[in-house]
Amino acid sequence: MQKRPFVCRNCGSTCPIIVTLDGERVVKVEGDFDAPLYRGYTCPKGRMIPQEHHNPRRLLHSLKRLPDGTRVPISSEQLVEEIAERLSRIIDAHGPQSVATFLGNGVAAQPAASGMMLSFLAAIGSPMMFSPGTIDQPGLLLAKALHGNWQGGRMHPDQWDTLLVVGGNPVVSKQYLPQNPAWQLKELQDRGMRMIVIDPRRTETARRAAVHLQAIPGEDPTVLAGLIHLLFSLGGVDEDFVAENAEGVEALREAVAGFTPDYVSARAGVSQEDLVAAARILIESKGGDTAPGVGTSMATRGTLTSYLALCIQTLRGHWSREGDPVSRPKVLTPRRDWRAQPIPPHPAWGYGLQTSVRGLQQTPAGMPTAALPDLMMTDAPDRIRAFFLHGGAYYAWPDTNKTVKALSELDLFVMHDVELSGTAVHADYVIATYDQLETPAMSALNESVGDLHPGYDWNEPYACYRPALLDPPEGSDLMESWQIYYRIARKLGMPLSYIVYGGAKTEPVPFDMENEPTSDDILEMICHGSAVPLAEVKKHPHGAIFDEARDTVGPRDPACTARLQLADPAMLDELGEVRAEDPLARRRTDGEYPYLLVCRRMQATTNSAPRPEGIVRTGYNPLWMHPDDMAQLGVEDGDEVEIRSHHGAIPGFVEGDADMRPGVVAMTHGFGPKPNSNYDPRRDGSNINLLLSWEDDADPYHGMPRMSAVPVAVKAKVAVA
């Protein structure tokens, strides 16, 4: 037996782990107590890596689908030959824009893949790169564009007196508290930090809140506007900071005038006393942060919610100041010029590629995934005919029936996967790829993602690198995800230059197209110009804090005239629509659909990733209900029910949860039928996407539809005698 340090990549937390090996067999995974920051933490997903690695369904050879629907193994060499030939014909006939890619969570374990995919698209001249960024939280990036950003970054957690969490559960999701979240939260609260949580469930995070606003789903903009109203009426605006750094304050004051405590209480279902208490915490706090989660984004109006959260930060002056320590300093990416000054707003839409689908267009969150299925089926000139996919569209995209139909319309569908998943079963070619123990691990990708999303990255100058822990299984023929793009480009005679994915702005680095690089060669390219050389990071097998990468926020440039925008016209118009609308009509609950279905995370599973047997206690994704709602329906734990929306119906199995708001039910995405097996919902769970439509309350720009706060009926299944 031997114990080796490594890094878990089952989510974005990148937890250091110790892997116990018996030869080539992975026996156990536990937390690494020799690594800084994490204090030996790992979650159930990390501890299930042995079962993931020894998955009996694992693909050891790539597969080709024949015209009759059967699949046969295909060698890596032949696969590249055939895909290159088919792709060349498609590009010649229909142009480079007919080729698209989707960069999903499947590349978390393969840090070289994202940049190589972008490099490949750039080489063929296609802008059609899609990602989950326009499914789960696109509003974060659009709001930042409309409001402007702060060049000094957000406040370091050591400076927080408060944290406002909206529709998120960091203790489970690890967003905003990625390193041992429960411990981080306890440390912050022991120092006096008071947390405010807006959530329809008393989550693991909400239980620790000073104030929990258990609002009706979809009413997050109402509650945030109510808090802003109170900041104005209670004298809680940092007048000096706003005068120097923002504009639009009076227009915002007028826009929230109607969101009085009595109105917000009646509409959102929170008490006036709690709303005022939350506002007073914000006012009394000298420092803090806001944390909009996936839940509030999926309940629609995610851009407005994120924008109002940024307005709260600016009104309170909760941005880093000159002389403050930089939060999220750079280690394996280039240093930044951190300054205590605004970065001005920039367009959130209207500047990039517009599709033929419902006017959906490119935004700061990327190309709109909501347009993808229709682009695969359209007769318009921008039809997508070739598609390379990393991630589980079958389990992650709304309207599964439409997804399956769209994928079947492609001329070429290439899927990267470790097993024949619910998505891969529809592919022309399934590339059998490496698992996370067989590829090197490095922290630079998280730094780049942290430039885009404030819920990731490290608040200290931490970095790690670990070489691959294991070789691929003997006799296998696998490809790392980046290799297909390099090898096709070489086959087609196209030069590639490596493009970094994320916020770091570096010049593309040309590839040697004669000699294929190693994964480590590509990681060196990713880290070109980094604050700390990758070679230095490699000396620390457990990761390390690199004090030489610490940074301090510099002074404002005397020539800076930029201002943060508190009154973006589109956002204030949308806020006006919120105030003017009939909330019940918007909610669409009635006698036929009396419940609101919200999304909910499970600690043991991540989105649509492969799920080893036994990792989820029930096997399925329960329908959580308040016990009073269960009693009214006459159902008990484990009973089967039908869940029906305006768009479809699925089976479910109820589980009582007194922390739910009555009238609200919850399920976890990423479950449902598995290929090549008779569907058993009690074993496989239920696919929530069958209840959803891409066109239901869709955002007019990025296209994300209603995926939470969905009106549903729940009906007890009558036992057959």
pLDDT digits (tens, 9 = 90+) for 66-99: 999 999 999 999 999 999 999 999 999 999 999 9
Average pLDDT for 358-364: 95
Residue 304 contacts residue 183 (beta carbons within 8 Å): no
**What residue has token string 């696998």?**
478
Residue 485 backbone dihedrals phi, psi, to 5 degrees? -70, -45
Spatial distance between the Cα atoms of 353 and 376, rounded to a whole number of angstroms: 17
Q: Locate 80 and state its tokens.
A: 């590249």
Mean pLDDT of the chain: 94
Q: pLDDT at position 506, please?
A: 63
Handedness of CA 540, 545, 546, 549 (dihedral sign): positive
Name the residue among 587, 703, 686, 601 with its Cα closest to residue 646: 587
- Could you tell me which residue, 543 or 614, shows the higher pLDDT? 543
Compute and round to an integer the Cα radius of gyration of the chain.
Answer: 25
Q: Over 102-163, what HEC string results?
A: EECHHHCCCCCHHHHHHHHHHHHCCCCEECHHHCCCHHHHHHHHHHCEECCCCCCHHHCCEE
pLDDT digits (tens, 9 = 90+) for 18-56: 999 999 999 999 999 999 999 999 999 999 999 999 999
Helix, strand, coil percentages in the chain from 3-state DSSP, rounded to 5: 35, 20, 45
Whole-angstrom distance, CA of residue 42 vs CA of residue 46: 6
656 alpha carbon, distance to own chain's centre: 28
Exposure string over 8-44, b if 16+ CB within 10 A, otherwise e: bbbbbbbbbbbbebeeeebeebebbeebbbbebbbbe
pLDDT at residue 634 in the model:
96
All structural domains of the chain, each given as residue ranges with its CATH number in brackets, are 1-54 (2.20.25.90), 58-135+329-336+369-545 (3.40.50.740), 155-319+565-569 (3.40.228.10), 588-716 (2.40.40.20)
pTM: 0.96
Rounded to an integer, the average pLDDT of 580-608 is 92
DSSP-derived letter for residue 516 is: P
Residue 443 tokens, joined: 């922290």
**What is the band of 250 on the pLDDT scale with cuts at 50, 70, 90?**
very high
Q: Per residue in 408-465, pLDDT tens?
A: 999 999 999 999 999 999 999 999 999 999 999 999 988 988 888 989 899 999 999 9
Query: CA angle at residue 280 from 158 to 290, to 5 degrees?
Result: 45
Distance from C-alpha of 693 to C-alpha of 706, rounded to nearest angstrom: 8
Q: Render the burial of 160-178: b for 16+ CB within 10 Å, e for the rest.
A: bbbbbbbbbbbbbbbbbbb
Q: What is the pLDDT of residue 500?
A: 64
473-528 pLDDT per residue, tens: 999 999 999 999 999 999 999 999 987 654 455 677 889 999 999 999 999 998 98
Which DSSP symbol is given to 697?
T
Does residue 333 surpass a pLDDT of 70? yes
